[in-house]
Structures are given as structure tokens and as C-alpha cells.
Amino acid sequence: MAQGPMKSLMRCIRRTAGAARRTDQELLTAFLAGGDEAAFRALVVRHGPLVLGACRRVLRDEADVEDAFQATFLVLLRKAASIRRQQALGGWLFRVARHLALRARRTAGRRRQCEDRAAAGMIVAEAPPDPSWREACAALHEELDRLPEKFRQPLVLCYLQGQSRDEAARQLGWSAGAVKGRLERGRLRLRERLIRRGFAFSAGLLAALENSPAAGSVLPPRLIDVTTRAAASPGVVPASVAALVEGGLRTMIPSKSKVLLIALLATVVAGAGWASRPTKAAPDESAAPAPAVGKEPPRDDVTTCAGRVLDPDGKPVAGAKLAVSLDHGEFWRLPPSAVCATSGSDGRFRFEVGRAKLDKYGGGTVVAAADGYGPAWTEFDPRGGAGGLTLRLVKDDVPVRGRVVDLEGRPVRGATVRLQEIRAAPGDDLGPWLALVKGRKGDFFDLEQGPLTAPARAADVPGLAAAARTDADGRFSLKGIGRERFVLALVEGPAIATQEVRFLTRPGETFFAARRKSEPAYGTTPLHGSIFTHTAMPTRVVVGVVRDKDTKKPLAGARVQSDALAGDIVHGRDLVRAVTDAEGRYRLAGLPKGEGNAILVVPPDDQPYLVIGREMKDTPELDPVTVDFELKRGVWVTGRVTDKKTGQPVAARVDYFTPANNPRLANYAGLLDSDRARHWVITREDGTFRLVGLPGPGIVSVEEPTGKYLDAASRDDAEGAAESLLNTEPGSLHPANCHAVARFDVPEEVQSIRRDIALVPGMTVTASVAGPDGKPLAGARVYGREGRGRWGESLEEASFVLRNFNPRRPRLVLVRHDGKSLAAALEMPADATKEIAVRLRPAAVVAGRLVDGDGRPRAGVELRVWFRREMDSVWATYERATTDGDGRFRLGALLPGLRYSLGDGRGDLTFGAGLREGDTKNLGDVCIKTPAE
């Protein structure tokens, strides 16, 4: 019944932001381009409480607070062109406000005290209860300011501006999962840095963020007025504010290359793959910046990294080697990074890294190492410099000594123990983390990713022997990792199964941590101390030949790899690989014995074969298992994705589908519908793509992450489509879930086809909301605001912006106010080029009592209400409700004229016929039966 999930997660990555009528970027552009004072005023109203709170956290004099407040928004106008993320200005404004407030505090002695705060209508922040609390809160805001943008932005939006994670995700253009993860990692960074400064990061201290003036400062209307006037008429700017602006521009944000050098003393940037990088060492405020080299202007094509290396006692370390690790989805398979620099006699270092490579991989990590110490590492931002970095090495007095034996306790000679990741604990103390693990205070995998820092790649630690081989007694030793470290390694060998092993560089017995504390079926994971024995499992060896399905010729250069391992619930476990030789033969060793193994065959990049996967059956014996593969050759589908208006390339995901009635589909039976096959690619920098398709009719869909283009169901050109589901393989394709649907037909004898695709930017329309009395009404929710298929959050104002609107393809927009039981359906007119009005009317209410087959009430059941119009083929969610203790439910704000369906997850019941405006209808006892009943 329900509309199927989208074919990828990309559309969920970014959603057009804007808590009110327009996004930050639109408001800022409207003021700068056309002098729209109302637009600038909206920015001040939106972000004013955040800015005011940031200023009050630093300044005690309200007059100084006002000056810093005004100066912050004036700096915004002066630096607008250099702001990269204009659609979400909160984090940028918070950082600027804090720097200006610090500057104002340094000159506060020359400023007069404001004697009439109350008369001016100001709300002065209450002092914290004691000096130590005030210092802790100040340190919290200082460290928040120093966080990288990817962590600071969600913290500012969620804790300082009170937004939900979903709201923050839409404004930042991220997925909800990304916001959740970065919130947690940001909190971790704050905790680590506050602990180093001697403050305990407690729930109460975090509440200082939520309850601080930054989170709830009352914004005086007079301050809004004077700030707006100052922006519109520079001549009325007070001298004190003008001086603060000019001084701030000179010293705080002189150039793009110095923004993060000064503001982010310890920078962290998000990774593009599955491994995020750690912030191992906090910046040292006392460290002087590295000296500039000559007087050359900053270069846009390089990122400069500078700082110093210290020993555990804080003394400079000379001769330390520094390398840069690039983030990548398979970063552990990349070759080791080259040494970039060596620290001088004072421990200082400075080097440059090419921006193009950093931007491609989404960031980098600086790793420092020296003989006799364990390494230190920290991330840096590719968009700016990384200066003042302090990497503090740790003692290396806990060597790792291990032994590898087989199931009978016999030593395994010639096995390799290969270090993959190294993680550190806050304060370089694993004790608190171990207490959580042993006390089963959370899932082990979550604890591994959470309280511990993100990993450093062992291969990038200069001078570290990242692998060791076992001797005749099965023994090995590792050193150079450093004390109090968590290590993930692989144990592999020709006659044993490749297994992950986790150990700590601290003495201790092996214990078994629960993978999922609430689900015993997930099993346990052994966690070893620095001296341990690993029992290796026997390997399941797989041999075979990979051939062309039609010609039977061997296929050389195909990659055969593990996709799932026996005993491991996680798929995509590419730990074991082999490549076919000239005869198409392969030998894959390292799979564990047991049920659950699966392997995948990936063809060479230059040949259009479809990926094929297969699950393996276990056998009692350990003899090699023969598994041959035949790959079916397809055709190349190539093209380029561009913006139809500008012609510029667009970064997007391209999926391949074939209609279910493709007459050649039978020749590819079992290939397209495999969960292990991959039928999509991401466009290159120039917008081009290439993927494998089938002869005959085909379809490619394009999904673009920013959400600024019309969805395919709203288009009226060749890349548009009907609003109904398309019956395709693999799965079904709904045009509302993508931005283009391009069809083509590949003749049997053709080896490739090109299909260029242009995305169409949508139109933006502003709508106002009024109640039955014609007065503006806030708090409504809108369906179809940014496209199809979802309801938005409650509106803070009595207006909203419709995005991605095609005036030639009007779409249904629903507006409802749950609190007042009002609703309206708005068919967008084809000439909607200006602001339109929506007047809500009394909605219908439906109640009932959910019972089972014997008439007994069903309490606590979540019900889902779906809706559709008569001409629609797809149902969409209208609302959810939960039955009370007597099984009763109430559905409010229902719009007459729609068909509704009430479901409990097992079956459904349709209703809605005859509903009229203002009706209250009782369905009585409702028994929802399953389709089988």
C-alpha cells in the first residue's frame, strides 16, 4: 500500500532548508542584490537570539553586547561572498559573534557602563551560580567555537537554536543519520577537550548550552530595528560598532585561508567513507603560530598544516615524522602515506598539501610519530589552513605480545597480524571505557565508535611496523602503538580464516563483549589485553573459474571477494580477495568454515559485465570447494548530467532499470534482482557517468542531493514520467523519488549507448496561511512543500515556501492545523508566480475503537492513516495515532474529498467516503483483518 522507499539514500542527504519563509541564502541574496530590508530583518530575527546569547556569554556590559551584536551582522554583509554554506548561517554567526565579543571585552575598560539596562528593556543574563560554573560554561563555549564546522553546526542548531535533528538536517543539507552521528562525535570532542582543561563534561554542563542565554535570549525589538537600519544605511552605524567591525575584519577573518587557522585551533573534517578520523591531540593555546614563509599570498590550491609535536610531558620533540592520511572508503587498502615533514628542534613543523586530493577524499589526518613514543593524530579541514596544531605523543612502554594457534592449540607459523586501526580514549585512559563495556552499558560496536576516538590508519603512522609474522611457535610482537590504545587488526594466513582481532595496549585478561546487549543472537566479540592468544579458525578455500556466460571464454582480471562471512551478520565484508589469472582461475583463501559465507565477482573496470554474487553452502569437509561463475555481458550506458538552465555538470546518482517487459530480460534471469549486485554509479566531476545495462528497453533515473530540481513526476519533457509506479527490474521505480527518468532502447548489435540528461530547476512560490476568519495562522503543517511524499514540520510563521514547482504541472498541496482541526487542499494554479493565499477550513474528525476478532479492545496499537485522491495510484501517509487503554483512537484534521486507509501493520480498513467539512464521525468498533482473513 505504502509508497516504496527511495532507491538510494542520496535524496535524504540534503533537503532545502529554511525555518521560515525563505532560506538564509535567499534572504541574504535578496538584501545584497535588491536592498530588501525585510529580508535582512528576517535574518536578524531568525539568528538574533543565538548571536545575542553568544555575546552575553563573553560580555557583562549590555552596551558592549549591543555593539558586538550589531557588528556581527555587519560583518556578515561584508563577508557574505566568502561564506561557503549560506543556507545555514547559524554556526558562522555564532563563531563571528564570539570573536567580536572577545575583542570588545579587551577594550571594555575604555567603554562606559550602561546604567539604564532595565529602562532600555534589556533582558540581562543571570550570572551562573558560582565562579567555577561560570568558568566551565565559558570553557564549553570556547571549545564549541574551536570545533570543526561539521561538528559545530549541528551542535549550534540543536543545542543553541533548539532545532530538532530533522530540522537541522534539512537546514544543513545532511541526512538525519549524519546529524545524529556528528552530534554524538561533537559531544565527544567537547568532552575530551574539557577534560584536558580540567572540567568534567556532565549532563549539567551540556545543559548550560541548552539553558544558556544563547539558547533562549529574548531579542529586544529595538535591537532588531537599529541593526536593520545600520545594515541599510552605513552612515548611521555608531563609531564604536564601526571600529569593532573594522578591527574584527582585520584580525579575525582577514582571508579565507586564515579563517580556520585562527578560529579552529583543532580542526576536524568529515570523512567520505566509512571511517571517520579522530581528534587525538587538542590544540595548545599557548603555542605560537608557525612562522610564515616569506610574504607570498595564500594559495587556493594547497592547504597549509603547521604546529608542533610534544612528548607526554609537554616538551618539544625534534625529528618527529609527519604524514597525511587521506580519507577513503577503502582507506585501509591504500598504500602508506609518504612523510611530509620532520619537526625541528623546537618541535615545530610546517608543510603544504594539495587541495584537489583533499577535496576529493573529503579531508585528511595529520599523523605524527617518533622513535620511543606512540603516535598522535588529528584531522584538519581541506578548505583552509590548519595552524597551531599540537600533537602530543604518548609513552610506548606496553608492547603487544601474542600467539596464534589452531583449534587444537598447535602454533600457526607464518600467519600475518596486520594492524588496521588505532583508536584512543579520552584523556588517554581506557579505564572508563572498559567499565562501560564490561558493565554492558551499551552495544559494543556503538561503544567502539562512540567514546573512543575515530581511527587512525596504522599504515600511515611513520616508522610503525604495521604487520608482524608469527614464528615457529606462533608468536609475534608489535611495538610503537603507544599505551592505552584500542587496536583493530586482521589475522590472516594461507591455512587459516581471515579474522578481525581487537586488543588493547594495556595489561589485562581477555573477556567477551556483547555485540548487542539486548540481542544475544548477535553473539560476543573477544577483547584482548596486550598479551593474548588468538585461536585461528580453519579456512574454507574456494577455487573456480570465471567465464563469459555466452562464449565460455575465461575472464581475466575479475575480482573475487568476500561479501559476507560465516558467523558475521554484517554484509559487505570485503576482507578476502583474489583476482582471476589469464585462464580465469582464482583461489580464494581466508573464508571461515560455516554457514553464511557469500562471495562477489566484480568484473574488470573496462568490460561491461554485470556483477554477480552467490551465497555458499557449508560442507562437513575442509577440502577446497569449487565455485565457477559465468558473467553475462551487457552494454555500456553512458551520458552526462547537467543543469538545463546553466549547462553546468551536476553531481548526482544514476541508477539503471529495465522495464519488466523487456524481451531480453529472460537472458539475464537472477542477475538484476540480486541484492549483491550493484546497478548505480555517482557522476564524475564533469557530470559524466558509465554503468552497465541490458540490450533492449532501458531506463536510468537521476537523483540529485540538493533538492533544487523538479522531481521527474513534475516534469513535462522527455525526462518526465507519469506519476504511477513503473514496473521495472530491479524493484519498482517511482518518478517522484528522482529528478529525471530517461528512457532508451539498445539494439541487440549495439555495444553502448549514450543518454545525456538535463535536470530542470524548480520554481519557488510563497504562500500565506490564514484561518477561517482570514487572520494569519502559524503552526500548520504542509504536504507537498518541497515536492511529493512527505509532511513538513509545523510552520513557525503564517507562511511557507513551495519549492520545485512546475507551473505547467500543478501539484496537490495539503495544509492542516492539528491543534485547531483545520485543513485545506490547494491545487497549485498554473500561473502561481507570486504569493498565494491558503485559507484553512474546519476539518473532519473520525473516532473509533480498535478491537480483535473476539471484540476485545486492542490497547497501545500504533495506527497509520494513509490517503490518496481518486486519480492517484499511490497512497501517502497522512498521520499516525495510538490506541488508548480501551482501544480508542481519534483522527483529527482530516480533509474531505480524500480516500483514507487505516492500518495496524497487519491489515487495513478504508474509509472517508462522504466526509464533509466539520464532520465528526464515529466508526464504532473496528476490527482490522489481515488479507488472508
Q: What is the DSSP string of 589-613?
A: EEEESSTT-EEEEE--TTS-BPPEE
Cell of 5: 522507499
Within 13 Å, how many C-alpha atoms sit on residue 389's CB side? 31
Distance CA 137, CA 905 (A): 47
What is the gyration radius of the CA atoms in the chain, in angstroms? 31
Q: Indicate if the pLDDT at residue 32 is higher than 80.
A: no
Pairwise pLDDT comparison (590 vs 729), residue with the higher score: 590
Closest CA to 152 of 168, 136, 133: 168
pLDDT at 291 over 60: no
Please give the mean pLDDT across all residues of the chain.
76
pLDDT for res 707: 67
Residue from 741, 653, 662 nearest 694 by CA: 662
Judge contact between 12 and 788, C-beta under 8 A.
no
- Give the pLDDT of residue 175: 67
Least confident residue range of 45-49, 120-124, 443-447 = 120-124
Phi then psi dihedrals of residue 158, to 5 deg: -85, -35
Beta strands in 840-914 (DSSP E): 841-842, 844-850, 862-868, 876-882, 888-894, 899-903, 908-911
**Range with the lowest mean pLDDT among 199-213, 571-585, 760-774, 904-918?**
199-213
Mean pLDDT over 528-544 rounds to: 93
pLDDT over 60 (residue 119): no
Confidence of residue 408 (pLDDT cuts 50, 70, 90): very high
Please give the residue that has the higher pLDDT: either 719 or 205: 719
Q: Is the pLDDT of residue 312 over 90?
A: yes
Going by pLDDT thresholds of 50, 70 and 90, the confidence category of residue 441 is low
Q: What is the pLDDT of residue 846?
A: 92
Local confidence band at 834 (pLDDT 50, 70, 90 cut-offs): low
Choose the most confident range, by mean pLDDT, from 38-42, 842-846, 897-901. 842-846
Q: How far is CA 660 from CA 665, 674, 693, 705, 926, in A?
A: 7, 15, 14, 28, 39
Q: Report how far Cα 154 is from the mean position of its chain's Cα atoms.
A: 11
Mean of pLDDT values over 142-164:
70
Three cell numbers at 740?
529525471
> Is 80 exceeded by the pLDDT of residue 113?
no
Are 703 and 15 in contact by the 8 Å Cβ rule? The answer is: no
**pLDDT interval class at 827 (50, 70, 90):** low
pLDDT-derived band of residue 201, with 50, 70 and 90 as boundaries?
Answer: very low
Q: Cα(555)–Cα(601) distance, rounded to whole angstroms? A: 11
The pLDDT of residue 366 is above 50: yes
pLDDT digits (tens, 9 = 90+) for 2-25: 333 333 323 332 322 333 447 777
Tens digit of each residue's pLDDT (9 = 90 or more) over 455-484: 788 888 998 988 999 999 999 999 999 999
pLDDT the model gives residue 117: 33
Q: Helix (H, G, I), strand (E, B), or coil: what is residue 126?
A: coil
Q: Is residue 49 pLDDT above 60, yes or no?
A: yes
Cβ contact 406:470 at 8 Å: no
Cell numbers placing 705: 542531493
* Cell (9 digits) for 769: 496561511
Highest mean pLDDT among 60-74, 564-578, 719-733: 60-74
What is the sign of the dihedral through the CA atoms of 255, 257, 262 and 267?
positive
Whether the predicted pLDDT of 385 surpasses 90 = no
805 is written with which cell numbers? 514547482
Residue 412, amino acid: V
Percentage of the chain modeled with pLDDT above 70: 71
Confidence of residue 670 (pLDDT cuts 50, 70, 90): low
pLDDT-wise least confident of 327-331, 377-381, 549-553, 820-824: 327-331
Query: How far apart are the C-alpha atoms of 255 and 292, rounded to whole Å?
Result: 15
Contact predicate 10/705, CB 8 Å:
yes
Quick check: 74 pLDDT over 80?
yes
Report pLDDT for 283: 36
850, pLDDT greater than 60: yes
- Evaluate whether 554 touches 533 at the Cβ level (below 8 Å): no
Residue 463 near residue 391 (C-beta atoms within 8 A): no
In terms of pLDDT, which residue wins out, 146 or 459?
459
User: pTM surpassing 0.85?
Assistant: no
Read off the pLDDT of residues 759-788 as tens digits, 9 standing for 90 and up. 998 887 888 999 999 999 999 998 877 655
Estimate the crossing angle of helix 176-196 against helix 165-172, to 10 degrees: 100
Measured distance CA(837)–CA(826) in Å, rounded:
9
With a cut of 70, say whether residue 57 has pLDDT above it: yes
Q: Please give the pLDDT value at position 176.
A: 67
Residue 223 has pLDDT above 60, yes or no: yes
In the prediction, which pLDDT does 802 show?
78
Residue 203 has pLDDT above 70, yes or no: no
Output phi, psi for 95, to 5 deg: -65, -45
Residue-wise pLDDT for 165-194, tens only, equals 766 776 676 766 667 767 777 777 776 666
* 596 vs 807: which has the higher pLDDT: 596
Q: How confident is the model at residue 840 (pLDDT cuts 50, 70, 90)?
A: very high
- Report the pLDDT value the prediction gives residue 630, as an integer from 0 to 100: 92
pLDDT in tens, 475-526: 999 999 999 999 999 999 989 999 989 999 999 988 887 665 544 445 678 8
Q: Dihedrals φ, ψ of 716, to 5°?
A: -125, 30
Q: Is the pLDDT of residue 266 over 70?
A: no
CA–CA separation, 162 and 151 (whole Å): 16
Where helices occur in 269-354 by DSSP H, the ranges are: none
Phi, psi of 113 (to 5 degrees): -85, 140
Cell digits for 177? 543519520
